[in-house]
């Protein structure tokens, strides 16, 4: 562990993976700024770790999110790592446009809003690390969840583009793209999912991926194998498969 006290901002820390990751960094004596939509959830962690936990209510779908992020950074006295865990996802076999648009609003518009805010902050403050939770769902278009898989693919490409821009501008910004599979969180509270992982185990893998500044990580060897074979399936065959459509 680096003996220098590091400052990390975690957006999406009120539940699931984000909350477990926040606990990991708090337990390892980082200065942690946590954010999410539910103040009462933020207060739980603040009360548990009063000395090194700072909070701010942030909804990534709102324009005010950027201003509130800067307020949280100010509370921390700066930011070394920005970690984005906010995201939603639903299967949508009826192609309800409200579900698709809500997913895009959080996973695309909200994602861009927060990552560009972090990028611009680091570009003016000697650099830093941007880490995001995307998904293996971005590997191929999933008919059962069109907006979800599309926005996750967008996130993968967007981080690649930001990395290239950082190199072009000679900025000291590094990136970590974290791609979990199915994790036992509120996001998957409906239905039965294969290869389901526990949030605490996933959080531990994420913690070390961020600390070691891994560029890209797929969590769990089983998902690494799955993604390897997914990539090999030709599009003409992929469109005939019923991936995840059996999940209720």
Q: What is the pTM of this model?
A: 0.88
Q: What is the pLDDT of residues 61-99, one digit of tens each?
A: 999 999 999 999 999 999 999 999 988 888 888 999 999
* Among the ranges given (19-23, 188-192, 233-237, 240-244), the one the predictor scored with the smallest mean pLDDT: 188-192
* Among the ranges given (40-49, 96-105, 184-193), the one the predictor scored with the smallest mean pLDDT: 184-193
For residue 175, the enclosing domain spans 7-238
Q: Specify the pLDDT at position 224.
A: 67
pLDDT-derived band at 1, boundaries 50, 70, 90: very low
Q: What is the pLDDT of residues 123-176, one digit of tens each?
A: 999 999 999 998 887 777 778 889 988 999 999 999 999 999 999 999 999 999
In a domain, 247, yes or no: no
**Domain count of the chain?**
1
Which has the higher per-residue pLDDT, 183 or 57? 57
Q: Specify the pLDDT at position 183.
A: 58
Contact 195, 154 (CB under 8 A): no
Q: Specify the pLDDT at position 3.
A: 40
Q: Specify the pLDDT at position 196.
A: 59
Q: What is the pLDDT of residues 183-222, one digit of tens each?
A: 565 554 444 555 556 778 888 989 999 999 999 988 876 7
Helix then strand then coil, % of the chain, to nearest 5: 50, 15, 35
In a domain, 78, yes or no: yes
Instruction: Report the SS3 class of residue 197.
Output: strand
In a domain, 1, yes or no: no
Asked if pLDDT for residue 28 goes beyond 90, the answer is yes
Helices 146-168 and 97-104: angle between axes, nearest 10 degrees:
20
Query: What gap in Å lies between CA 207 and CA 86, rounded to an integer?
Result: 16
For the chain, the farthest-separated pair of C-alpha atoms sits apart, in whole angstroms, at: 56
CATH of residue 130: 3.40.50.720
In a domain, 28, yes or no: yes
Give me Rg for the CA atoms of the chain.
18
In a domain, 65, yes or no: yes
Q: Specify the pLDDT at position 42.
A: 94
């Amino acid at each position: 562990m680096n003996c220098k006290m590091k400052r990390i901002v975690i957006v999406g820390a009120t539940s699931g993976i984000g909350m477990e990751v926040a606990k990991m960094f708090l337990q390892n004596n980082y200065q942690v700024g946590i954010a999410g939509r539910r103040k009462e959830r933020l207060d739980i962690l603040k009360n548990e770790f009063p000395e090194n936990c700072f909070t701010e209510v942030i909804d990534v779908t709102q324009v005010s999110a950027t201003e509130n992020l800067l307020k949280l950074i100010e509370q921390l006295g700066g930011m070394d790592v920005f970690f984005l865990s906010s995201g939603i996802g639903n299967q949508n076999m009826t192609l309800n446009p409200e579900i698709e648009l809500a997913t895009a609003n959080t996973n695309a518009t909200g994602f861009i809003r927060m990552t560009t805010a972090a990028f611009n902050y680091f570009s003016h403050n000697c650099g830093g690390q941007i880490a995001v939770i995307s998904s293996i769902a971005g590997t191929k278009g999933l008919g059962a969840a069109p907006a979800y898989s599309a926005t996750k693919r967008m996130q993968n490409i967007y981080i690649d583009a930001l990395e290239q821009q950082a190199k072009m501008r000679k900025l000291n910004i590094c990136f970590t793209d974290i791609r979990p599979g199915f994790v036992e969180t509120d996001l998957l509270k409906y239905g039965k999912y294969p290869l389901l992982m526990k949030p605490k185990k996933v959080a531990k893998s994420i913690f070390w991926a961020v600390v070691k500044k891994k560029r890209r990580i797929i969590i769990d060897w089983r998902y690494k194998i799955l993604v390897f074979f997914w990539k090999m399936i030709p599009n003409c065959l992929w469109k005939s498969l019923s991936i995840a459509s059996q999940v209720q």
